[in-house]
A and B are shown apart, each in its own frame.
Chain A
C-alpha cells in the first residue's frame, strides 16, 4: 500500500520568508496529491492539490510541485504571514473516484512576526 513521508516535522520562519515542505510517496500509481492545513482544534482544510498529469500548480502565495519520477511533491509558501502558522499535511492517493487518502505525519509551521 501507499506510504507517505513528510519533512520537516517543524519549520520556523520569519514573516515574509518562504517555506517549503516536502513529501515522498511509495506507490507509483498514486495520481492525486492534496495538501491540507489544520489549525489547532480545527478541521483539516484543503489549500491546494495537484494531479499526476501536472508538474506544478500555483494559487497566489501557495504552489505545489510534483516530480513523478522521484515520487516526491512539495508545498511552497511565499511571503509567509503569521496566519499561515498551522500544521500542514500532505496526502497521496490513487484516485479512481474512491480516495483512500494516505497522509504524511504533518509539518508544524510557525511564522514569527
Chain B
C-alpha cells in the first residue's frame, strides 16, 4: 500500500498520560497536514508542514500538543497530559507540493482517553 499510513490505528490511554502518533506520508509528498475529527463532525485543521518546517498551527493546538517532521518525511503528533476532550480521530494527510490540489488522507488514529 503506497498511501498515507498512520500508527497506531487505535490508542486507549488514561487521562494524564502522554501519547504519540506517527504519520508516514506518500513518498516525496512535501506537504503534510494533521486534522482532528470528532464523532459526527468534519475534520478540523490542526497543523501543516512543508518539508520539515511547521508553517501553520491552529488555535485548537494547545500547548499540550506538539508536532514534528524532523527529516521532512514522517511526522509525529504528541499529546501531553491527555484529557478526555482529546478523544477523537487524528487524521494525517499529504499533498505532493505546489500546483497540486488533492490532499490524500491516512486511515487515522482513534484516541480514547479514559
Please name all residues of chain B whose beta carbon is closer than 8 Å to the beta carbon of A51 when the two chains form the complex: 101
A46-B102 in contact (CB<8A): yes
User: Which residues of the other chain, B, contact A42 by a CB distance below 8 angstroms?
Assistant: 107
A interface residues, tally (CB under 8 Å): 25
Contact with B along A81-101 (1 / 0, CB 8 A): 000000001010001011111
Evaluate whether A34 and B42 lie within 8 angstroms (CB atoms) in the complex, with A44-B91, A98-B31, A100-B56 already known: no
Known: A100-B48, A105-B41, A105-B42. A34 touches B102 (CB 8 A): yes
Chain B nearest CB, measured from A21 CB (Å): 13
Number of B residues, CB within 8 Å of A: 27
Report how far A28 CA is from B56 CA in the complex, Å. Answer: 21
- Pair A43/B45 contact, Cβ less than 8 Å: no
CA of A42 to CA of B101 in the docked complex: distance in angstroms? 21
With a cutoff of 8 Å between Cβ atoms, the chain B residues found around residue A45 in the complex are 105
Interface residues of A in 43-95 (CB under 8 A from B): 43-46, 49, 51, 89, 91, 95
Nearest CB on A from B4, distance (A): 8
From residue B88, how far is it (CB to closest CB) to chain A in Å?
Answer: 14
A99 / chain B contacts, CB cutoff of 8 Å: 33, 95, 101, 103
- Given A34-B101, A43-B91, are A101 and B43 also a contact pair (CB < 8 Å)? yes
B31 cross-chain contacts in A, Cβ below 8 A: 97-98
For the complex, what is the distance from the CA of A55 to the CA of B101, rounded to whole Å? 17
Identify 14 new A-B residue pairs, CB closer than 8 A, beyond the known A99-B95, A103-B44: A4-B42, A34-B102, A36-B105, A43-B91, A43-B106, A43-B107, A43-B108, A46-B102, A98-B48, A98-B50, A101-B43, A103-B43, A104-B42, A105-B41
Binding site for B on A (CB under 8 A): 4, 6, 32, 34, 36, 42-46, 49, 51, 89, 91, 95, 97-106
- Chosen A-B contacts, 13 in total, with CB atoms closer than 8 Å, are A6-B42, A44-B91, A46-B103, A46-B104, A49-B101, A98-B50, A99-B33, A99-B101, A101-B35, A103-B42, A103-B43, A104-B42, A106-B40
